[in-house]
Amino acid sequence: MSMKDRLQTLPLLPGIYLFKNSRGSVLYVGKAKSLKKRVASYFQKQATDWKVHALLEESSAIDYVITKTETEALLLEADLVKKYQPKYNVLLKSGDPFLYLLITEDPLPTLKIVRVQKEKGRYFGPLIHKQQARKLHDYLINTFRLYRCKKSIANGCLDYHLGKCAGSCLALFDPTEYFLRLSLAIDALEQNRTSFLKKIDVEIKKQTEALSFEKARNLHEYALSIDTIFRTLETRFTPHKYAHDILINAVSELSEKYETTAHELEKAFDLSRPPRTIDCFDISHFQSTAIVGSCVRFTNGIPDKNSFRRFKIKTLTIQNDYAALFEIVKRRYKDPLQKPDLVLIDGGKGQRNAVLPLLEGTPCLSLAKREEIIFSDNYPEGFGLDETKSIGKLLIYLRNYAHHFAINYHRTLRSKETYDDRKIHNRKPGAHK
């Protein structure tokens, strides 16, 4: 498959992409909000940018890994650059690419920014934005007065009287209040985001009423940075999270080895024949509402986009994965001739049992996240899927692909609804509906 043909298989989803040479060595690792659009830009720049031209001349393959968010793509990019040391990546090559906030285990703990987890204490992260990590650190230090000076002054140092120092310099320092403030800072780092941002809003109003507009503006900047940092913390990223995706990377690998994989599927799950077409279903929702579904089809290990389907759930207003799956499977196979050789459900035993009555004559598997437990007719109690084997690679990749297809559709609908709501709220009085 040529580089440009490979481009057509890339999804419009966030993730990381890897340019490789003919020996399989990684030449460049990049991140993208939309893999297809970002990689396509390299071919547009080739004629004007000598570095891009050199990269494409030396490359013979493009692999990719889909991630849930842009933030995860950023973190995974940093980890892979550190791991592979690609020739064309000039940043993030040495040292630990991540930052961490550390609550130390000193007799009087404090908050620090570190790159290496060698000191005893409680770590929060990883973080990737140095400037924003610094703002978050400084905001917590100043707001909760966690700064400890090394002085010993009976009446306290100048920073203490300016409201910056924790007061550890005082001869009669009482650590009780300090530990209370430290616990509030930990609450903020433990994802109590709503309460944390509410405190910032209260402080902004207080500073505004006191005509301290510069302080209010700085607090607003902190709020913007904290929003980004909290999204990073919420990802709970670990380099191992995408281990199985990094093993597969390319759809081309799946298609090249699909003949063998199909026979392994037939044997493993007692199928009547090697499956050529596999459909995977997934459900997505936002806070248990606005439920949508997706169905993606792979034919001989390659996404068959003409057979992809997206569904707005019509029969439910609250989350019920079983009922939602029943609805979309029934709608997808309204014409029985549309059934594939094999169906894969994103879920556990319950999700699979919910749709079995609709799939008479068509084998059905379900794959539960986290533990990667696969359920089937011959394994009704499930077994752990080996992520390093060809069957595991294929089914996990297919499940992830369906998951991201559903999420992408969900985001599109939510964006449209937000836009429509704004048009209604911004309509001038007397305007026609």
- Tokens representing 413? 């609908």
Residues 207 and 301 in one domain: no
What pLDDT was estimated at residue 312?
87
Across 138-152, average pLDDT: 77
Whether the per-residue pLDDT at 433 is higher than 90: the answer is: no
Residues 227 and 183 in one domain: yes
Provide the 8-state DSSP code for 428: P
Pair 165, 124: CB distance under 8 Å: no
The overall longest dimension of the chain from CA atoms, in Å, is 86
* R_g of the chain, CA atoms, integer Å: 26
Residue 32 lies in a domain: yes
Residues 155 and 226 in one domain: yes
Residue 433 lies in a domain: no
Residues 187 and 277 in one domain: no
Across 140-146, average pLDDT: 79
Distance of CA 60 to the CA centre of its chain: 28
Residues 279 and 404 in one domain: yes
CATH number at residue 408: 3.30.420.340
Lowest mean pLDDT among 88-97, 235-244, 282-291: 235-244
Question: What distance in Å separates the CA atoms of residue 151 and residue 84, rounded to the nearest whole number?
Answer: 46
Residue 354 lies in a domain: yes
For the chain, how are helix, strand and coil distributed in percent, rounded to 5? Answer: 45, 20, 35
Where residue 423 falls among pLDDT bands split at 50, 70, 90? Answer: very low
Question: What distance in Å separates the CA atoms of residue 347 and residue 283, rounded to the nearest whole number?
Answer: 9
Residue 429 lies in a domain: no
Residues 126 and 198 in one domain: yes
Question: What distance in Å separates the CA atoms of residue 311 and residue 295, rounded to the nearest whole number?
Answer: 8
Domain membership of residue 303 as a residue range: 250-417
Residue 191 lies in a domain: yes
Which tens digit of pLDDT belongs to each residue from 320-363? 889 999 999 999 999 999 999 999 999 999 999 999 999 988 99
Percent above pLDDT 90 for the chain:
24
**Which range is most confident: 73-82, 228-237, 238-247?**
73-82
Pair 313, 325: CB distance under 8 Å: no
Residues 282 and 374 in one domain: yes
Residue 263 lies in a domain: yes
Pair 17, 62: CB distance under 8 Å: yes
Pair 28, 55: CB distance under 8 Å: yes
Question: What distance in Å separates the CA atoms of residue 310 and residue 408, rounded to the nearest whole number?
Answer: 10
Q: What are the φ/ψ torsions at residue 394 (nearest 5 degrees)?
A: -65, -50
Where residue 203 falls among pLDDT bands split at 50, 70, 90? Answer: confident
Where residue 252 falls among pLDDT bands split at 50, 70, 90? Answer: low
Whether the per-residue pLDDT at 247 is higher than 50: the answer is: no
Across 381-385, average pLDDT: 91
370-375 long-range contacts (CB < 8 A, ≥24 apart) are 372/396, 373/348, 375/348, 375/349
Residues 207 and 306 in one domain: no
Domain endpoint, select from 185, 202, 234: 234
Residue 12 lies in a domain: yes
Which tens digit of pLDDT belongs to each residue from 169-185? 777 777 877 886 787 77
Residues 70 and 201 in one domain: no
Domain endpoint, select from 204, 234, 264: 234
Question: What distance in Å separates the CA atoms of residue 6 and residue 29, rounded to the nearest whole number?
Answer: 16
Residue 427 lies in a domain: no
Question: What distance in Å separates the CA atoms of residue 311 and residue 189, rounded to the nearest whole number?
Answer: 37
- Within 13 Å of residue 357, how many CA atoms lie on the same side as its CB? 8
Strands 26-32 and 15-20: antiparallel
Pair 232, 209: CB distance under 8 Å: no
What pLDDT was estimated at residue 429?
45
Element (H, E) at 368: strand 364-368
Where residue 2 falls among pLDDT bands split at 50, 70, 90? Answer: low
Residues 413 and 317 in one domain: yes
Which tens digit of pLDDT belongs to each residue from 302-320? 888 889 999 988 877 667 8
- Whether the ω angle into residue 14 lies within 30 degrees of 0, i.e. cis, is no
- For the chain, give the mean pLDDT: 80
Q: From the CB of residue 336, how many other CB atoms can be counted at a distance below 10 Å?
A: 9
- Tokens representing 229? 């940092």
Residues 292 and 220 in one domain: no
- 239 by DSSP, 3-state: which? helix
Residues 75 and 118 in one domain: no
Question: What distance in Å separates the CA atoms of residue 103 and residue 183, rounded to the nearest whole number?
Answer: 10
Question: What distance in Å separates the CA atoms of residue 124 and residue 137, rounded to the nearest whole number?
Answer: 11
Whether the per-residue pLDDT at 242 is higher than 50: the answer is: yes
The closest alpha carbon to 111, from 191, 218, 193, 189, belongs to 189
Burial class (CB in 10 A: 0-12, 13-18, 19+), 134: middle
Question: What distance in Å separates the CA atoms of residue 376 and residue 365, rounded to the nearest whole number?
Answer: 5
Residue type at 155? N
**CB burial string 412-425: b at 16+ within 10 A, e below:** eeeeeeeeeeeeee
Which tens digit of pLDDT belongs to each residue from 184-195? 778 778 777 777
CATH number at residue 15: 3.40.1440.10
Across 65-91, average pLDDT: 82
Whether the per-residue pLDDT at 8 is higher than 60: the answer is: yes
Tally of domains within the chain: 3
**Which range is most confident: 3-17, 254-268, 418-432?**
254-268
Percent above pLDDT 70 for the chain:
80
Across 232-249, average pLDDT: 53
